[in-house]
């Protein structure tokens, strides 16, 4: 029944490693997002995909590479992890322009800790 | 550029007291404003939108274009209102929606 689901919920890893976070939505939405919430609870958009195509890339380092195999999935791969990457990463989805209320539906978040 | 400002990081009120969470925005076009809430150990969820003009869980928010504000208000705070509140501004660019969030205000309702 979960609308937007992310895995894993928790991820602890060493600096320099490569890791991925997966996101899936079963709402039939066309648009998916990745947001980063830092230790101060600031919530900042990283990427947005519409129907598998990248539409927003907010000056995120190249070490972050989103991949959307289909419109229900948006995965986030991070290379060469740094301490500053420690944060909670939220996936979200919304309906296409003109088809909804503009509401974002969020996943539960994936807490990444880089040691 | 669009910007959302929430000046208070933390707002503590006593149960039964009125609550006002401030939000100011900067955007040259016609904005869509939202309030999202994150309860402890739960996901972010929409609380209300300015265009629906509704009251949710006793909360209301009025868009004031002159003051570019969208403050969230509730006349009597309840303990269960304790949460993180984010004001958000949505705009459409190139046919797609971009939502910018404020820095959030933690509301703490003291019993």
Structure tokens at B16: 């039964």
Q: C-alpha angle with apex B29: B56 to B94, nearest 5 degrees?
A: 100
Please compute the mean of the pLDDT values over residues A88-115 and round it to a whole number. Answer: 86
How long a stretch of residues is chain A?
115
Q: What is the mean pLDDT of chain B?
A: 91
Among A102, A103, A105, A108, most B C-beta atoms within 10 A, so best to mutate, is A102
**Torsion region of B67: left, alpha or beta (phi above 0 gives left; psi -120 to 50 gives alpha):** alpha
- In which order are the strands placed within the sheet that holds A4-7? A4-7, A19-25, A75-78, A64-67
Does domain A4-114 fall under CATH 2.60.40.10? My reply is: yes
Phi, psi (rounded to 5 degrees) for A17:
-75, 165
For residue A77, list its beta bridge partners.
A20, A65
Chain B neighbors of A41, CB-CB under 8 A: 84, 103-104, 106
Could you tell me the CATH number of the domain that includes residue B53? 2.60.40.10
Kindly provide the residue ranges of all beta strands, DSSP E only, lying in chain B, ordered along the sequence.
3-5, 10-14, 19-21, 24-26, 32-38, 45-49, 60-61, 72-74, 83-93, 96-101, 105-110
Q: Nearest C-alpha of chain B: how many angstroms from A1?
A: 15
pLDDT band at A11 (very low <50, low <70, confident <90, very high): very high
pLDDT confidence of A99, banded at 50, 70, 90?
A: low
What confidence tier does A114 reach under pLDDT thresholds 50, 70, 90?
very high
Which pLDDT score is estimated for A88? Answer: 95
**How many residues are there in chain B?**
111
Q: How many domains does chain B have?
A: 1
Q: Which two tokens stand for residue A36?
A: 């980063």
The DSSP secondary structure of chain A, one letter per residue, reads --SEEEE-SEEEE-TT--EEEEEEE-S--SEEEEEEE-TT--EEEEEEEETTEEEEE-S--TTEEEE-SSTTB-EEEE-S--GGG-EEEEEEEEPPTTSS----EE---EEEEE-
Given this model, what pLDDT does residue A89 score?
96
Q: Encoding tokens for residue B88?
A: 């958000």
- Asked if B46 has any chain A CB less than 8 Å from its own CB, the reply is yes
Task: Tell me the percentage of chain A whose pLDDT exceeds 70.
Answer: 94
Neighboring chain A residues of B92 at a CB cutoff of 8 Å: 97
Mention every residue, 6+ apart, whose C-beta is less than 8 A from residue B93.
none
Domain coverage including residue B70: 3-110
For residues A79 and A66, the answer to whether their CB atoms sit within 8 Å is no
Q: How far is CA A55 from CA A32, A75, B65, in A?
A: 10, 15, 29
pLDDT tens digits, A21-59: 999 999 999 889 999 998 888 889 898 888 878 887 787
Q: Is B95 on the interface with A (CB under 8 A)?
A: yes
End-to-end CA distance of chain B: 41
Which residues, in sequence order, are CB contacts of A61 under 8 Å at separation 6+? none
**pLDDT under 70: residue ranges of chain B:** 93-96
pLDDT at site A12: 97
């Amino acid at each position: 029944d979960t609308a937007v689901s992310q895995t894993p919920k928790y991820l602890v890893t060493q600096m320099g490693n490569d890791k991925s976070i997966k996101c899936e939505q079963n709402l039939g939405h066309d648009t998916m997002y990745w947001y980063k919430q830092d230790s101060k609870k600031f919530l900042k958009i990283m990427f947005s995909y519409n129907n598998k195509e990248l539409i927003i890339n907010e000056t995120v380092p190249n070490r972050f590479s989103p991949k959307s195999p289909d419109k229900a999935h948006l995965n986030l791969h991070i290379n060469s992890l740094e301490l500053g990457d420690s944060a909670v990463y939220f996936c979200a989805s919304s309906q296409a322009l003109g088809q909804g209320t503009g509401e974002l539906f969020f996943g539960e978040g994936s807490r990444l800790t880089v040691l | 550029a669009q910007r959302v400002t929430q000046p208070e990081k933390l707002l503590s009120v006593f149960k039964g007291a009125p609550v006002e969470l401030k939000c100011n925005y900067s955007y040259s076009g016609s904005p869509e404003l939202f309030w999202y809430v994150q309860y402890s150990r739960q996901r972010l969820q929409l609380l209300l939108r300015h265009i629906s003009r509704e009251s949710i869980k006793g909360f209301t928010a009025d868009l004031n274009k002159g003051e570019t504000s969208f403050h969230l208000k509730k006349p009597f705070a309840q303990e269960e209102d304790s949460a993180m509140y984010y004001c958000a501004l949505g705009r459409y660019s190139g046919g797609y929606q971009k939502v910018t969030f404020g820095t959030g205000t933690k509301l703490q309702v003291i019993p």
